[in-house]
């Protein structure tokens, strides 16, 4: 059987339908995802390398890309920290309202981004519930990069919580007991025994939240203010270029965003693989 592996497309199996299922999957995947994405890269290639770089390193594009990635990074870090705390609290402690909180975590998955956007704007506008309270402290949230970060924290939170939760749930309490038996304090157990084991999950959640936040559009445009060079995110710039019928430029910015996102995902993937090898799991 093992000898046939190199020749045959798949390992022999009694289950039927391989050809049909694989064929349909590949056709659908190609038509919906691969060919259109290829078209994007092709379109930006019409600019040539020099033209592509000129568009991507233009001051306005650069400012938009920097803003998108910087705010996404800050939001993902906030989510990683608070997401782990929330996952911890939801799994380890019992308190009234826990189930309700647990259900709430999924909200940003389900809530349409435009709804989240207008709700957050209403909340953090100078006359909103949070805004009227933060304004006297001198903190302006709506229509500034802080507002963008707040929106990105909102949409990214469930990624971290839902990635860490299952791993924490299956965490072997015997390890904690062993650590305590060997004389470790509770904080030593948490930070030196548990956290390294949770690290791959935290990183995955971080990466997913980051990837989602970089491309986010709907929840951000309402709260951002959309001032060029100040609070204009990269996806909005794509739309602006598209409305100017500069298709190739829009494609170039899109391609740049995709490349940077994939680079980030790749990096996190490598860190994850390293941390798996280093700490087990």
Subset of 15-74 contacting other proteins (CB under 8 A)? 15-18, 20-22, 24-26, 28-29, 32-37, 39-40, 43
User: Please, which residues have CB within 8 angstroms of residue 46's CB and are 6 or more apart in sequence?
Assistant: 248
Contact between 9 and other proteins per CB under 8 A: yes
Contact segment (CB under 8 A) with other proteins among 47-55, 59-67, 134-142, 206-214 equals 206-214
Least gap, CB of 60 to other proteins (angstroms): 16
Of 50-58, 59-67, 92-100, 140-148, the segment contacting other proteins by CB under 8 A is 92-100
Indicate the residue among 144 and 165 with the shorter CB distance to other proteins. 165
Size of the site for other proteins (CB under 8 A): 118
Which residues, 123 to 162, sit near other proteins by CB under 8 A? 123, 128-130, 150, 153-154, 157, 159, 162
CA atoms within 13 A on the CB side of 276: 11
Q: How far is the CB of 49 from other proteins (least distance, A)?
A: 19
CA distances from 13 to 1, 9, 21 (A): 10, 11, 14
φ, ψ of residue 239 in degrees (nearest 5): -65, -40
Q: Does 3 bind other proteins (CB under 8 A)?
A: no
Q: Does residue 272 belong to the site contacting other proteins (CB under 8 A)?
A: yes
Of 231 and 235, CB closest to other proteins: 235
Q: Which is nearer to other proteins, 144 or 209 (CB)?
A: 209
Which residue lies nearer to other proteins by CB, 85 or 192?
85
Using the rule CB under 8 A, which residue among 63, 140, 171, 226 binds other proteins? 171
**CB-based burial of residue 226 (10 Å sphere; 0-12 exposed, 13-18 middle, 19+ buried)?**
middle
CB count in 10 Å sphere of residue 71 = 26
The CB-of-116 to other proteins minimum distance in angstroms stands at 6
Tell me, residue by residue from 210 to 229, as one string, x for binding to other proteins by CB under 8 A and - for no binding: -xx-xxxxx---x-------
Q: How far is the CB of 126 from other proteins (least distance, A)?
A: 15
In terms of CB distance, is 145 or 226 closer to other proteins? 226
CB of 141 to other proteins, least distance (A): 12
Residue 86 found at the interface with other proteins (CB under 8 A): yes
Minimal distance, residue 53 CB to other proteins, in Å: 19
Nearest to 149 by CA among 207, 221, 75, 235: 75
In angstroms, the CA 42 to CA 54 distance is 17
Q: Name the DSSP letter for residue 193.
A: I
Contact 155, 114 (CB under 8 A): no
> What DSSP string describes 61-123?
HHHHHHHHHHHHHHHHHHHHHHHHHHHHHHHH---TTHHHHHHHTTHHHHS-HHHHHHHHHHH
What span, in angstroms and rounded, lies between the C-alpha atoms of 76 and 159? Answer: 10
Q: How many CA atoms lie within 13 A of 52 on its CB side?
A: 17
């Amino acid at each position: 059987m093992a000898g046939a592996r190199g020749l045959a497309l798949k390992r022999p199996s009694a289950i039927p339908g391989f050809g049909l299922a694989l064929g349909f999957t590949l056709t659908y995947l190609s038509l919906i995802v691969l060919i259109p994405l290829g078209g994007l890269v092709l379109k930006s290639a019409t600019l040539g390398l020099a033209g592509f770089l000129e568009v991507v390193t233009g001051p306005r594009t650069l400012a938009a890309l920097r803003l998108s990635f910087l705010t996404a990074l800050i939001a993902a870090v906030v989510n990683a920290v608070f997401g782990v705390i929330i996952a911890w609290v939801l799994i380890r402690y019992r308190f009234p309202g826990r189930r309700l909180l647990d259900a709430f975590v999924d909200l940003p998955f389900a809530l349409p981004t435009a709804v989240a956007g207008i709700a957050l704007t209403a909340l953090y506008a100078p006359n909103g519930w949070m805004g009227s309270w933060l304004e006297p402290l001198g903190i302006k949230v709506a229509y500034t990069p802080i507002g963008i970060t707040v929106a990105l924290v909102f949409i990214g939170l469930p990624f971290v919580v839902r990635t860490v939760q299952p791993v924490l749930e299956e965490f072997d309490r015997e390890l904690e007991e062993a650590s305590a038996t060997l004389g470790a304090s509770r904080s030593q157990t948490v930070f030196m025994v548990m956290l390294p084991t949770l690290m791959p999950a935290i990183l995955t959640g971080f990466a997913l939240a980051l990837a989602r936040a970089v491309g986010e559009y709907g929840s951000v445009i309402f709260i951002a203010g959309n001032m060029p060079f100040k609070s204009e995110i990269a996806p909005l710039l794509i739309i602006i270029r598209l409305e100017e019928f500069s298709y190739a430029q829009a494609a170039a910015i899109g391609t740049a965003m995709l490349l940077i996102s994939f680079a980030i995902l790749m990096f996190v993937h490598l860190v994850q693989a390293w941390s798996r090898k280093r700490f087990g799991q």
